[in-house]
Structure formats: structure tokens, C-alpha cells
Structure 1
Amino acid sequence: METSTSSGNPLQDLSDNLAAIVERVGQSVVAVHGRHRIPSSGVIWRHGVVVTAAHTLRRAEGIDVTLADGRTVPAVLAGRDTGTDVAVLKLDGVDLDPVESGDARSLKAGHFVLAVARGDGFGTSADFGVIGNAGGPWRTWRGGQLDAFVRLDGGLRPGFSGAALADVRGQVMGICTSALARGAGMVIPGVTVERVTEELLAKGRVSRGYLGIGTQQVNLSDAWVEKMSLSSNHGLLVNSLAPGGPAEQAGVLLGDVLIELDGKPCRDVDDVHTALGSGSIGQQLKIALIRGGERAECSVTVGERPQRDSCR
């Protein structure tokens, strides 16, 4: 990006450079009117394609976006993925330049960043801060896989979900969301946004495996661990079953305790999500469980997770 001419005052130069980043990135940031009252923000990710935070959309039709030049145009929802909190909107007849994306996996705790949002009637808004914590790939509590863990040093102001998160070079590292961690703003990495956008544009949804069960982690007695030669003293108690779901059809019962999935320990929900990647749909999954104090096994044909179902 171009930087301003040095004034001889380092603070003035920094201030001018930050303002230049906000102005440039802001040309590709829109206000998304998909809920009552305060709009969220969105980012022009490709020509004619806007990405935003899925949790901010309260309707599937009648969505409008306000562009940097003040025009408000209709948008069509191409799809949304609650697991990663990414939603994709298509704009007809709007050919504005997309943002220059970067790799959020390069961010480290302490890096300076800028959140660039757009409100209704107030133009571009910016928030300056630092990365609070950064790490490798992680799975959200909704089951989506993000390519990097990037937490901001504080929460997000109203309207900043869906905002562009830029580094000091002006590259957009991803989009902001308040839905993936309590009390903290998170960044959906650009690599994740691109991957999810590709799938949503192709088929309108992100496919994930589905067993149709609700579970809670339980401690296993030492006697059970020894009797069944288990590698962990944790399992998952089945406390709900989706009627007609894959698990129910395979004979899983309420009160069963899952201990293995395809020969691997089943200690927590992450182990279930790991076994239910998109490639698992239609495949046979061997389940080992404890029923009535005895080990039992069954095979489940993994289904595709319904888009609005809370069961795993």
C-alpha cells in the first residue's frame, strides 16, 4: 500500500498511515441490513460477493447492503454456515474491488490491527487494538473448523461483527465476529472465509457429518476402565436422540456411554466432531459403547447434518 510522506513527526506519520488504511479498506466494507435496528458490517470478498458474520442475519430475504458511495442495493443470501459464522451474499450489478486479503496465521499476540466497519448513516468506522491471543487451527463450539485461533484484546462494538480486520500493511486478515467466544471479539481467518465462501457459493451449505445425538461428558469408574482396557476415564453419555436419526436407526439408546469411534477414544465433543468431517457422510462409523455395565458395539451410517439442527 502507499504510505503518506514523512512529516518528521512519528506519531503524525503513524496516525496518517492508519487513517489511509481505514480509508482504503473502507471502500470495500459495506453495511448489511439483515436484522432490526443496528446493521452489521460486511466485506466485499470477491467481485459481486460480500461476506459477513452469519449470526447477524435474522432473515433470509429482504437483505440490503449500503456501499461506500452511499448506495443501498439488494443482496441475495447464497448461504450461511453457523459452524464458522460465515454468511455469503451476492450482489447483482455491483462491481467494486474486493479487499486485499492476507494470512491470519501470521498474526501473533501483540500485533497491531484495525477493525474497519460501516454503520448506517455514519460512514466508515474504525477500532484500533492488538491481537490478544493467537494459535493454530481450532474447532468452534458450533462444530466449525477455523484455520487459526485469533482473539482480539477486547469485545466488539455494535455493528462490528462482519467488519474487516486489517493489519498495519492494510491487508485484511479476516472478518470479526462476537459469536464464537463470550466477551471477546474473534477473527474468522481469511483462509477460512475463502474455503467456506467457495462451498456456500457452490451448494448453499457446508456439509458436516451427523449422528443425531446429544451428549455430555461423564467420568468412567476405575473398574470400567480396567475391565474394558480403556485408554481414558472419560466418555460421552447419550442424553438425547434425534427421532429417525442415524444413531437411533443403528440402535443407540438413551443412557449409552460412547467410549470409542472407529477404534479411537471418544472422550469429549471434539472427538465426535473430528470423526464427523465432510468426508464421513455416507460412511460406516463403528461405535463402541457401555450399556448396562458391559461393552457393546454398533455401526452407524453417518448422515449429513441438518442446517438448523443442534444435535451432533
Structure 2
Amino acid sequence: MSLLQALSNNIAEIVEQAGKTIVSVKANRRFSPSGIHWRQGIIITSDESLKQYDDITVTLANGNKTSISLLGRDLSTDIAVFQIENPPIPVATIGDAGNLKVGNLVLALARSNEGDICAAMGAVSVVSGAWRSMSGGNIDQFIRPDIALYPGFNGGALVDTVGNIIGMNTSGRGGTALTIPASTINRVVEQLLTKGRIPRGYLGLGMQPVRLPENLKKSLNLASSVGVIVVNIEQNCAADNAGILLGDILVSFDSSSIEDTNDLLALLNDSSRLGKSVKVQVVRGGELIELDVTVLERNTAEG
């Protein structure tokens, strides 16, 4: 047997074995995303690929269809978590995406509406450290596989060359493939299973980025010439109670510089700040003012 044939057979075997844990998720869309049987009785998929969360069914490897129920979702990391009763499919073997290197070969697995397994192979083109999604989600590792995400591949698995599932594939900018690493998925799943939600702080502010004059930056000894200006405040919210006013420019939150609304979202996503008083700095009337704000949980009131 030639080396190339042996490699081909090995890849096909990995697809067959890991593919048994992949399902097709029917959510009233033209192209259904895929999902992964991540833990016993737990299916995860791409949240942004879902149009609804009720009356969802999955197609299994044998072509059978069964219903699943939503346990929770995290828009910021694009993860939706469902429960499946008595699943007749194996649980995924989860690997560590932290071992990935640029150039490593990987497989993307998905399942069609009819129940057929689908696969694409490519190399890892980018691996770097932790990053934040556009909605402020903390994702442990930036992974971009050089793989085309065909219809139905969102929510499917990224698999390494020993058959371990190391993350969930989703679409990035311009339709490029991105992978949410297993460590992030495990964290989100654990929070949703134990708490039923992802605890996040809120201030109750509407904000938009704004640039400060250079002379004001220098006179106030600010680290950056960019902040976020307050354009809306909810009544009796955390920010209102702290004395933040319309037109204030938020430049620092808990000693971290704020240059964009995503910066603040990421800091509020850290549940360790919930219920605690933190220092915020705002520019008001050309002066730098420090205020104390108690971070409340978003679920207790939207804002």
C-alpha cells in the first residue's frame, strides 16, 4: 500500500468515526446547520445559524430524526446548547485546540439534511491568542482553518488528524471559516448547564465611540484619544445610580481603558465583577471625573 493510499484510508476512517457524533439541525432554514454531540445528551451548534429555537429536530447518522430542546445560548460566542433524550449516537472525543500549529492538517465535518456525512480538508492558516467577538464574547483562541464552509457546515466540527474534535466551525467576515475552540465551548456549556444562563454585567447605557481633541487628551493625561460617549441612560440602572450623565465620555472602567463599546462589553462579560463596585472615569465638561458603579447582572434587568 502506498503512503498516499494509507493517508487517504486514515482520513476516511477518521471521518467515519468522528462523523457518528455529527448531526444535522433542522431549524426552519433553507440550509440547516450541523451540530455536535458534545457531551452525553448535549448537542451544540452555531447560534447565528438558527432562525428559531422551538420545534427543532436533528438528523442522526442512521438517517433517523429526533427532537431536541434548547438549554441555553450564548450569542457572544455563537454557541447554542440543546438537550437530546437517549441519544443513539456516541459522544464526541474532545481534543485540545491549544496544541494546534499553523500548517497542521484538519478536517471540517458536517451532516446533510438527508443524514449524509460531509467532510472538507485543509490546513490551519492562522492560530493566535484570545480574542473578543463583535458582541463582546471572550474566545480563548483565534483559529482560522483554510477550509471552505459549504452550506450546512456551520455548527459542525473541526477535527485533528487523530480524530479528536477540537472545536466548532462558524462563519467569520466574508464567509471565511473560524473555529470556536473546545475550551470556550466547555466553559459556555458548563455555565449554561449549572446556571441556565451566561451571567453578564450591565450598566444600562447606550454608547458610541468618539474621538477626544488631542489637547484635551494631553491636559487630562489620558492613555488614549478615543472613548465612548453616553447617548442614552436607562432610569434606575447601574449607570444612572452611579451618577453617569448624558454626554459623559467613558474612558476607563475598572482601570482598563475604553476605546470602543466592545471593550466595555468584554469587561462586563467577566462575571467576577457582578455585584461589585468598580471605578469608572468619565470626561465631563473638560474635566476627568471618577465615579463608583455597582455592576448588576443583565438578567435582572435588560440594558
* Partner of residue 192, structure 1: 184
CA distance 1:163–1:264, change in 2 (3 Å): closer
How much has 1:74 moved relative to structure 2?
0.9
Tell me if structure 1 keeps the 8 A contact 2:132–2:266: no
For structure 1, list consecutive stretches of 5 or more residues without a partner in the other structure.
1-6
Runs of 4 or more above 6 Å deviation = none
Alignment of 1:271-310 (within 5 A): 271-276=263-268, 277-306=270-299
* Partner of residue 258, structure 2: 266
CA distance in 2, matches of 1:45, 1:24: 14
Counterpart among 124, 138, 142 of residue 135 in structure 2:
142
CA distance in 1, matches of 2:232, 2:166: 39
Counterpart among 96, 100, 103 of residue 103 in structure 1:
96
Alignment of 1:40-189 (within 5 A): 40-121=33-114, 123-178=116-171, 180-189=172-181
TM-align CA RMSD: 2.0
Deviations 1:39-92 (A, max 9, x none): 110011111111111112222211111111111111011101011111111111
What letter matches 1:198 in structure 2? E
CA distance in 2, matches of 1:77, 1:206: 14
How much has 1:222 moved relative to structure 2?
2.5
CA distance 1:164–1:307, change in 2 (3 Å): farther
CA distance 1:182–1:249, change in 2 (3 Å): farther
CA distance 1:85–1:238, change in 2 (3 Å): same
Deviations 1:165-191 (A, max 9, x none): 10111111111011x444311101011
Tell me if structure 2 keeps the 8 A contact 1:112–1:131: yes
* Partner of residue 202, structure 1: 194
Deviations 1:203-262 (A, max 9, x none): 221111111223333322232122222222222222333454322333322321112223
Tell me if structure 1 keeps the 8 A contact 2:159–2:167: yes
- Percent identity over the alignment? 39
CA distance in 2, matches of 1:135, 1:300: 34
Tell me if structure 2 keeps the 8 A contact 1:48–1:95: no
Paired residues, number: 302
CA distance 1:242–1:127, change in 2 (3 Å): farther
Normalising by structure 2, report the TM-score: 0.92
Report the 3-state secondary structure (helix = DSSP H, G, I; strand = E; otherwise coil) of the residue aligned with 1:83: helix
Is the deviation greater in 67-76 or in 147-156?
A: 147-156
* Partner of residue 21, structure 1: 14
For structure 2, list consecutive stretches of 5 or more residues without a partner in the other structure.
none
Is the deviation greater in 253-262 or in 114-123?
A: 253-262
CA distance in 2, matches of 1:100, 1:307: 37
CA distance in 1, matches of 2:147, 2:204: 36
What letter matches 1:121 in structure 2? E
Tell me if structure 2 keeps the 8 A contact 1:48–1:96: no
* Partner of residue 215, structure 2: 223
Is the deviation greater in 17-26 or in 240-249?
A: 240-249
Tell me if structure 1 keeps the 8 A contact 2:230–2:245: yes
Tell me if structure 1 keeps the 8 A contact 2:60–2:115: no
What letter matches 1:209 in structure 2? G
Is the deviation greater in 70-79 or in 274-283?
A: 274-283
* Partner of residue 252, structure 1: 244
Tell me if structure 1 keeps the 8 A contact 2:45–2:81: yes
Is the deviation greater in 213-222 or in 119-128?
A: 213-222
